[in-house]
Amino acid sequence: MLVDFSDRQPSPVSTPSFYQSLLFDSTSTRSTMRDYFYDMSYGKLQVVGTVYGSGGTAWIRLPKTFSYYNYYTDSDWRPHFDEFINDVITLSNPIVNYANHDGNNNGYIDGIIIIYACQVDAPWAKGL
């Protein structure tokens, strides 16, 4: 999922097809995320996926600003993080058929990667 905010847009703008190739292309001459996991697992793990924006080259625009989602205190580094995830899922629901992303048919989505426009100082940009 490619998401941006009214106060943060990707720069330079990269399209969903750019990220599709970067992450999942198995024929690219450069290494992709798929290649990494394939190689590290000695061919046992093949990561496949689809990159979604909001149509065309647009990213999914979240309803609140990056500054809002990025709010944190010394004692709570992600008070608005759950809302961020809920907004991503809510806005992507009309775009994504999540049933297509349950490879083992256990009723749960196998994985979601959220790529968001920001600066690296977001506390949750460092991983969860």
By CB under 5 A, name the binding residues for Ca ion.
Answer: 102, 104, 106, 108, 110
Q: How far is the CB of 98 from Ca ion (least distance, A)?
A: 10
Smallest gap from Cβ 75 to Ca ion, in A, equals: 35
End-to-end CA distance of the chain: 17
DSSP tally for the chain: helices H, then strands E: 4, 3
Tokens at 74, concatenated = 């010394």
Q: Which is nearer to Ca ion, 6 or 98 (CB)?
A: 98
C-beta closer to Ca ion: residue 1 or 62: 1
Residue 110 Cβ vs Ca ion, minimum distance, rounded to whole Å: 4
